[in-house]
């Protein structure tokens, strides 16, 4: 799978738009049971505004970072 992911950043389907720091699968009330945040992430809790979506970040061994939801990323899966 990593070979397929290696050239892109991928949206995980997670967001904390409703409550800062409470990450949920979009369209559900389900929180992830696993987290792989990059060190220092998620940053929006530290003052960065509007970073409410989580992506696999290719430059950081595919750890998670939070980014603006207005950015476009490939989805890991579609509902």
pLDDT for 20:
87
User: What is the phi/psi pair of residue 15, to 5°?
Assistant: -150, 155
Question: Cα–Cα distance between 47 and 34 in angstroms, integer?
Answer: 24
Query: Rounded to two decimals, what is the model's pTM?
Result: 0.76
pLDDT of residue 21 exceeding 70: yes
**Between 8 and 16, where is the model more confident?**
16
Rounded average pLDDT over 11-21: 90
Pick from 7, 11, 6: nearest CA to 71: 11
Question: Cα–Cα distance between 14 and 17 in angstroms, integer?
Answer: 9
pLDDT of residue 2 exceeding 70: no
């Amino acid at each position: 799978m990593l070979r397929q992911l290696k050239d892109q950043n991928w949206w995980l389907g997670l967001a904390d738009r409703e409550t800062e720091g409470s990450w949920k699968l979009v369209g559900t009330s389900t929180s992830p049971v696993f987290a792989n945040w990059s060190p220092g992430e998620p940053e929006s809790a530290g003052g960065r505004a509007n970073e409410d979506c989580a992506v696999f970040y290719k430059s950081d061994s595919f750890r998670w970072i939070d980014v603006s939801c207005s950015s476009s990323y490939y989805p890991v899966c579609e509902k």
